[in-house]
Amino acid sequence: MIGIEADPDRPDWKDWYSRRIQFCQWTIQSKPGHPVLREIIANITDSTLKLKKAGKLHIKHDDVVEFTGPAVWTDIIFDFFNDPKYYDRSHETHDVDWKVFTGMNRPKQLGDVVILPITSFSPGVGHSGAGEVEDPQAFVFHNFEGRLKKKTRLENTGG
């Protein structure tokens, strides 16, 4: 079970976000061994070892969003949704992409994955149509202490 973290419906979304739709990586519910979990672990392990080999592994990483954050998490999930190993895509004409999830306000289920709308794991963020923290769809609230935020990221410091 995953949630939407951001759905920036604005032409300059690239100035603020890494992906047009971002899945939340601060809350995930899963059963053991899911291929997405396997892939994120292996992917970050590979990236880390590659950086280490190149002598570029530092405690402070410039682009944590891409390294371990919502960008890489989102990419891996979309790869999974479009992988014929896991989904029977023989009758599909279009890839599963951001258009499938943009603006959603009720959960969607794709095979064994339930995707919750933005309010569920990302309430009160002040963008992407997210409901407030009191919304009945809100399940988890991220207080944004700010340790991992990119400086250029659209900030909401309410609450």
Please report, as ranges, the residues that interact with other proteins according to CB under 8 A: 1, 29-35, 38-39, 41-42, 45-46, 59, 81, 85-89, 91-92, 96, 100, 106-112, 114, 137, 143
**Residue 51, class by beta-carbon neighbours within 10 Å (0-12 exposed, 13-18 middle, 19+ buried)?**
middle
H/E stretch holding 117 reads: none
Kindly state the smallest distance separating residue 79's Cβ from other proteins, in Å. Answer: 13
Q: Torsion angle of alpha carbons 25, 102, 107, 114, nearest 10°?
A: -50
Kindly state the smallest distance separating residue 71's Cβ from other proteins, in Å. Answer: 18
**Residue 141, class by beta-carbon neighbours within 10 Å (0-12 exposed, 13-18 middle, 19+ buried)?**
middle
Give 2 or 17: the residue with its C-beta nearer to other proteins. Answer: 2
Q: State both tokens at 137.
A: 């769809």
Closest CA to 116 of 140, 97, 144: 140
Give 13 or 26: the residue with its C-beta nearer to other proteins. Answer: 26
Kindly state the smallest distance separating residue 112's Cβ from other proteins, in Å. Answer: 5
Kindly state the smallest distance separating residue 56's Cβ from other proteins, in Å. Answer: 19
Give 152 or 157: the residue with its C-beta nearer to other proteins. Answer: 157
Give 17 or 125: the residue with its C-beta nearer to other proteins. Answer: 125
